[in-house]
Amino acid sequence: MWEFISERGDLIAYNALQHANLVLQAVVVATVLAVGIAVVVDRFRFLDPIANTVSAIGLTIPSFALVGLLLPLTMIGALTAFICVVFYATLPILRNAVVGFAQVDKTLIESARGMGMSDLGVLLRVRLPLAWPVIHAGVRTSVQMSMGIAAIAAYVLGPGLGGYIFTGLSQAGGVNAVNYAVVGTVGIVLVALVADLLMLLLGRLTISKGIRA
């Protein structure tokens, strides 16, 4: 096992970074997307249950199925993996962003407007910072979820550690099958743990002390 890893150390590290990179990029896009949609939902409250229903239905659809639906459109490769991860990463953030925005005290918004803040100013300086703890929690969940989805997306040659799992599967019975599968699985768990710690750190840095739990 150790021999297996030390022989391929660089490659494994590279794939781990690729995995993290895919998730990072997808979650960043998903956050922007989700917050954007949530702003619209917050503006038109009747969309609220619809957004939640869409998000719940979306989360019910297995990622393998989405991969299958995307393939005819985006073909095998990183793009399919990316879109797939973005799709699932968006949903929990959307859900939390909608809740987070709804929780912002309306009198604070009015007082911000009364002081002469523009709509954009109110969004960036009042609503977003106040909703951020809840949104951040959604992003954190999203990162964890995306780690596993990226693994499945490796079936259609997405980047990252998931490929090792499928290599292990295809070499079943071979000497290195278990090594491959373990490196893929444990590697993803480790990347996920590190990512979660980083997310906690991000929370410490970005959530105002005035509203931290």
Partner 1 sequence: MADTLPAQPAADALGEDELAPKSSARVITREMVLMLTVPPVLVAAVFGAFVWWRQTADLDSVEAQQLRWSELRSLGWEHVQLTVVAALIVVAIAVPLGIMLTRGRFRAASPVVIGIANAGQAAPSVGLIVLLFLWLDGGFWTAIWALSLYGILPVLRNTIVGIQGIDPTLVEAGRGLGMTSAMTLVKVELPLAVPVIMSGVRTALVLIAGTASLACFIDAGGLGEILQTGITLFRFSLMVTGAVLIALIALLIEWLGRVLELATRPKGI
Partner 2 sequence: MTQTDQASERAISGAELRLENVVKRYPGQKTAAVESLSLTIPAGEIVAFVGPSGCGKTTTLKMINRLIEPTSGTILIDGKDISQESATSLRRKIGYVIQGGSLFPHMSVAANVAVVPKMLGWDAKKISARTDELLDLVGLDPDRYRDRYPRELSGGQQQRVGVARGLAADPPVILMDEPFGAVDPITRQRLQDELISIQRELRKTIVCVTHDIDEAIKLGDRILILQEGATIAQYDTPDAILAAPANDFVHDFVGAGSSLKQLSLARVRSLDLVHPTTATVGEDTGPAVRRAEEAGDDAIVVLDDRGRPVAWPWLRQVRSNDRVKGSPRENLVTLDQAATLNDALDTMLTAAHSKVIVTGDRDKYLGVLDFETVTEHMRRTEREAAEHQLEQQEGAQADG
The contact set with partner 1 (CB under 8 A) reads 49-50, 52-53, 55-69, 71-72, 76, 88, 91-92, 95-96, 99, 134, 137-138, 140-142, 144-145, 147-149, 151-152, 155-156, 162, 165-166, 168-169, 172, 177-178, 181-182, 184-185, 188-189, 192-193, 196
Q: Which of 89, 156, 100 is nearest to 129 (CA)?
A: 100
Instruction: Select the residue interacting with partner 2 from 3, 6, 209, 213 (CB under 8 A).
Output: 209
Which of partner 2, partner 1, none is residue 113 near (CB under 5 to 8 Å by kind)? Answer: partner 2
What letter would DSSP give residue 123?
Answer: I
DSSP SS3 for 203:
helix
Neighbours of 183 (CB within 10 A): 24
Which of partner 1, partner 2, none is residue 203 near (CB under 5 to 8 Å by kind)? Answer: none
Q: Within 13 Å of residue 84, how many CA atoms lie on the same side as its CB?
A: 35
Window of 63-71, 121-129, 164-172, 175-183 that interacts with partner 2 by CB under 8 A: 121-129
- Give the shortest CB-133-to-partner 2 separation in angstroms: 9
Q: For helices 9-43 and 177-206, give the axis angle rounded to 10 degrees.
A: 40
Token pair for 147: 């780690």
Q: How far apart are CA 111 and CA 124, in angstroms?
A: 15
Nearer residue to partner 2 within complex by CB, 17 or 117: 117
